[in-house]
Amino acid sequence: MHNFISKEEFYHFFQPIYQLGGWKKEGYEVILRSKLHPNPEVAFQKAVKAKRLYELDSRSIHKAIRTYQKAGFSKKDGYLFLNIFPSIILNPMFPSFLNLIISNNHLNSQQVVLEISETEIIKEFDHFKQQIKVLKDLGFLIAIDDVGKGYANARAIIELEHDYIKLDRFFSDDLLTSNKKQSFIKYYVDYCNTHNSQLVLEGLETPAD
């Protein structure tokens, strides 16, 4: 894990996110990949065991933003969606680190969406909520990631000041034929419309769905 982090033995894909109305590009989600750990969840699990999750996540964020800039992306390409573990947000160094990285790479904080990962329970919820406010005050946008999977819960959706709700790809599978999934998604569409947020559905891969 030491070499994996220090030598940055990982890279990133940039998955486009589109608005369905007119197919305008909303931005890109950053996805970590590596030859050593084909499943990125394994890399992060090993980092947790080695007590180096903050190092891995912060190095990944830094490298992703550098790659984004070198690829020639700019504000016209939309938002940059970055996956963040709740424990990283709770780290007192994170807001200043993130602000510095953004400034050094000539990005605006308003271009960056922090996706709160579902793979950790949000501990110290009230403190976490305060940290989200700090990040929002710095201009960063917030997404609740993979709702319907893992630990993403109703309290986070209701109490956190989010800009996006992202539904797990489970809900897009066979969406055309599932009235239950359609009803579930419609509820969240209505919720987002009412509460000044936007809904993202992962995994839409067929024209019919």
Query: Could you tell me if residue 209 is inside a domain?
Result: no
Query: Could you tell me if residue 166 is inside a domain?
Result: yes
Give pLDDT tens digits for 4-34.
Answer: 999 999 999 999 999 988 888 999 999 999 9
CATH code: domain of residue 191: 3.20.20.450
Query: Could you tell me if residue 208 is inside a domain?
Result: no
Name the pLDDT band for 151 (thresholds 50, 70, 90).
Answer: low
Query: Could you tell me if residue 206 is inside a domain?
Result: no
Query: Could you tell me if residue 64 is inside a domain?
Result: yes
Give pLDDT tens digits for 68-106.
Answer: 988 887 777 889 999 999 999 999 999 999 999 998 888
Query: Could you tell me if residue 68 is inside a domain?
Result: yes
Query: Could you tell me if residue 117 is inside a domain?
Result: yes
Give pLDDT tens digits for 108-150.
Answer: 899 999 999 877 888 889 999 999 999 999 999 999 998 887 6
Angle between the N-to-C axes of helices 53-70 and 40-49, in degrees from 0 to 180, rounded to the nearest 10 = 140
Secondary structure of the chain as H, E, C letters: CHHHHHCCCCEEEEEEEECCCCCCEEEEEEEEECCCCCCHHHHHHHHHHCCCHHHHHHHHHHHHHHHHHHCCCCHHHCEEEEEECHHHHHCCCHHHHHHHHHHHCCCCHHHEEEEECCCCCCCCHHHHHHHHHHHHHCCCEEEEEEECCCCCCHHHHHHCCCCEEEECHHHHCCHHHCHHHHHHHHHHHHHHHHCCCEEEECCCCCCCC
Q: Answer for the pair 182, 171: CB distance below 8 angstroms, yes or no.
A: no
Tally of domains within the chain: 1
Query: Could you tell me if residue 93 is inside a domain?
Result: yes
Kindly report the pTM of this predicted structure.
Answer: 0.92
99: domain range?
Answer: 2-201
Task: Give the pLDDT score at 196.
Answer: 93
Residue 12 token pair: 């990133």
